[in-house]
Amino acid sequence: MSVIAENLSWGVKRRMIVQDVSLSVAPGETLGLIGPNGSGKSSLLRLLAGLRRPASGRVEINGQNIAQVSRKALSRQVAFVQQSAATDTNVTVADVVRLGRTPHRSALAGWSEADEAAVTQALGRVEMATRRKQAWQTLSGGERQRVHIARALAQAPQVMFLDEPTNHLDIHHQIEILRMVRELDLTSVIALHDLNLAAMFCDRMVVLEAGAVRACGTPEEVLTQKILRDVFRVTAHVSGSPETGRPHIRFSPE
């Protein structure tokens, strides 16, 4: 499914937080959203996922304006992994992942074998299958993050929005989660701070600066010394990684 944003703007009081953003994500593509703290990545993701109404502009998912799609219909297609999703404390890991099946169930239908299989498969994909009975509140930060990703997978979406999905993860799980998202047969938009990981796993990237698109293109096109200096305020050397052929950034201490 494609995701297209046209001239999206959103703000609070007089402050514009997302400014005239247009972008498009092709079916199956992984788009990285990068930018400094406060540049509007989370706000833009919420607009794209239909969790917030833009002040102006529109979002189309699979050719449909999401303002005209019911929330339930949207949640059958779109999953959102939030940065710090609130979860009831008195539940198990499996309970949290089961919530992902809600959009697919009717009020009268019972819990089906297909629902249970989706939960089991999702837990397996994030390497949490052995923890299904563990109490949510006893999980570590990274384990919670993986369970939230499993909940989104159990939702069987065609589009996934992820807001810094790897910020609590060890390097093995950062790579595994991003590899998995890229390999899944879905369209994804991922806000990431680690620019080298973004370069490794994203097909294209959008750089946000003060709520506006500063650059958009392949990792090679976007991760230039100039952008790193102007937008991220770092001195860095960019070279092609011999293993992946993608840009690799070496940051300089001054």
Instruction: State the Cα angle at 37 between 60 and 11, rounded to 5°.
Output: 50
- Show contacts with ligand ATP in window 10-29 (CB under 6 A): 12, 17
Q: Give min distance, CB of 83 to ligand ATP, in A.
A: 7
- Show contacts with ligand ATP in window 43-82 (CB under 6 A): 43
Work out which of 38, 124, 217, 240 binds ligand ATP, going by CB under 6 A.
Answer: 38
Work out which of 1, 31, 39, 145 binds ligand ATP, going by CB under 6 A.
Answer: 39
Residue 119 and residue 144 in contact, taking contact as beta carbons nearer than 8 Å = no
Residue 65 and residue 54 in contact, taking contact as beta carbons nearer than 8 Å = no
User: Taken in order 186, 191, 194, 196, is the CA torsion positive or negative?
Assistant: positive
What beta strand segments (E) does the chain contain?
A: 3-12, 15-25, 30-34, 56-61, 64-65, 78-81, 159-163, 187-191, 204-209, 212-217, 236-240, 247-251
74 token code pair:
């949207």
Measured from the CB atom, is 46 or 98 closer to ligand ATP?
46
Residue 205 and residue 227 in contact, taking contact as beta carbons nearer than 8 Å = no
Q: Give min distance, CB of 41 to ligand ATP, in A.
A: 4
Measured between alpha carbons, how far is 234 from 252 in angstroms, rounded to an integer? 8
Measured from the CB atom, is 51 or 91 closer to ligand ATP?
51
Measured from the CB atom, is 5 or 122 closer to ligand ATP?
5
Residue 187 and residue 25 in contact, taking contact as beta carbons nearer than 8 Å = yes
Q: Kindly state whether residue 40 participates in binding ligand ATP, applying the rule CB under 6 A.
A: yes
Residue type, 130: T
Q: Give min distance, CB of 163 to ligand ATP, in A.
A: 7
Residue 59 and residue 30 in contact, taking contact as beta carbons nearer than 8 Å = no
Measured from the CB atom, is 51 or 180 closer to ligand ATP?
51
Measured from the CB atom, is 38 or 217 closer to ligand ATP?
38
Work out which of 32, 35, 100, 219 binds ligand ATP, going by CB under 6 A.
Answer: 35
Q: Is 250 helix (H, G, I), strand (E, B) or coil?
A: strand
Work out which of 31, 34, 41, 206 binds ligand ATP, going by CB under 6 A.
Answer: 41
Residue 249 Rama label (left phi>0; alpha psi -120 to 50; beta): beta
Residue 239 and residue 192 in contact, taking contact as beta carbons nearer than 8 Å = no
- The stretch near ligand ATP (CB under 6 A) out of 35-43, 99-107, 180-188, 228-236 is 35-43
Q: Give min distance, CB of 164 to ligand ATP, in A.
A: 7
Q: Kindly state whether residue 84 participates in binding ligand ATP, applying the rule CB under 6 A.
A: no
Q: Kindly state whether residue 42 participates in binding ligand ATP, applying the rule CB under 6 A.
A: yes
Binding site for ligand ATP (CB under 6 A): 12, 17, 35, 37-43
